[in-house]
A and B are shown apart, each in its own frame.
Chain A
Amino acid sequence: MDHRDAAVRLCRDYGPAVYRRCLRLLRNREAAQDATREVVMRLFRSLGREFS
């Protein structure tokens, strides 16, 4: 599985839940989108080995 596939898998499986949580906390779509991106990037860096 290459990096893109791994990122797609991570984002596909957990992205919606992260986004919903961010939206609930921040109550602002743009900020929630930024935060979601940041969270997924951090997760990808931390869990990269698990997903590759």
Chain B
Amino acid sequence: MTARCPSDLRLEGYLLDPERSELGEHVGGCVTCRVRLERMNAGGDDFRQYVFPATIDAVVAAAAPRPRPGWIAPFLPVAAACAAAMIFLLKPVPPEGILAARGEVLSLEVFTGSSEGARQLGNGELLPEGTPLRFRVKTTVPCRVRVVSADCEGRVVLLYPPPGEDSPIVSGTSVLPGEAKLGGDEGPERIFALCSREPLPVLALAAKLSDQATGDDDRVRRASRLSGLPEGTLQATLLVEHGEEKAGQGHPEK
């Protein structure tokens, strides 16, 4: 690869419209840029899962400005300028990730219980074997929810509802009843919440998970979005890592 690697801003442009971007050839042959894009996509997932709902609420409500540390202020014009540049210079793309065609949103929160109460898990958090999990989903549109997981060994687990039961319709914020326990082998396991107008065919869903989100550790970690689902299906995901916490190893920052 002889061409110089593009700036972050140009890569943002590529992410906004990969089909029309002139960087496609470079990115296709540049491992460094592909790694950069994966990191950027992970940041996008973080935004969709943790920032998007609150941001929408704040924007719509036009809430009074909240006090914030004074040291943030100098950076706001820079970020605003970058955002404005992207809006004026780049065309928007069809929604990706957890977003469906009309801007509907699904988010997934996973909690683990302890004697001190429930604690929300961060993405990529290390979990001891047999940790009981509970799920909370937030959706902007009524839909049928299912929570599944896939690991590097190719195991696909129907976490909610239990096998044989139909996906219930949820709307708004819903704590899903019951607990689930994930597999015990060391390595990553990816949890997906899926919400659709019609119940998703379980076997077809399991096949997609097996194809796209299993195989090896990196594949599980990278599979932040399932493709080929019925149109309008919302999805959200969280990665957990199985294993025993080593001394000095803390939980990831929320």
The residues of A that contact B65 with a CB separation of less than 8 Å are 38
Measured between beta carbons, the chain B residues less than 8 angstroms from A11 are 52, 55-56, 59
Q: Which residues 64-111 of B sit at the A interface, judged by CB distance below 8 A?
A: 65-66, 68-69, 72, 75-76, 78-80, 82-84, 86-87, 92-93, 95, 99, 102-103, 105
* Bound CA span A19–B51, Å: 9
CB-CB nearest in chain A for B87: A14
Chain A's nearest CB lies how many Å from the CB of B54? Answer: 7
Answer yes or no: B43 CB below 8 A from chain A CBs: yes
Known: A17-B12, A29-B254. Contact between A40 and B82, CB under 8 A? no
Interface size on A (CB < 8 Å)? 39
* B38 is an interface residue with CB less than 8 A from chain A: no
Decide: A19 and B60 in contact? CB cutoff 8 A: no
* B51 and A17 within 8 A (CB): no
Q: Does B8 contact A (CB under 8 A)?
A: yes
Contact B48 A43 (CB under 8 A): no
Closest A-chain residue to B12, C-beta based? A17
Complex: how many Å from CA A21 to CA B14? 15
Expressed in whole angstroms, the minimum distance between the Cβ of B223 and any Cβ of chain A is 18
A40 touches B59 (CB 8 A): yes
B62 interface hit (Cβ, 8 Å)? yes
- Give the docked Cα–Cα distance between A16 and B8 (Å): 13
* Residue in contact with A12 in the complex, picked from B43, B69, B95, CB distance below 8 Å: B95
Q: Give residues of chain A (1-49) contacting chain B, Cβ–Cβ below 8 Å.
A: 3-5, 7-26, 29, 31, 33-45, 47
Q: Are B51 and A39 closer than 8 Å at their CB atoms?
A: no
| A43 x B80 contact (CB < 8 A) | yes
Q: A18-B79, A35-B76, A35-B79 are in contact. Are A23 and B55 (CB under 8 A)?
A: no
Given contacts A17-B83, A31-B69, A42-B80, is CB(A37)–CB(B103) below 8 Å?
Answer: no
B146 smallest CB distance to A (angstroms): 23
Closest to A4 in B: B60
Known contacts A14-B92, A36-B55, A45-B62; 9 further A-B pairs (Cβ under 8 A):
A7-B60, A10-B59, A14-B83, A20-B43, A21-B8, A29-B254, A39-B83, A42-B76, A43-B83
5 contacts between A and B (CB under 8 A): A11-B59, A16-B15, A19-B51, A34-B68, A38-B65
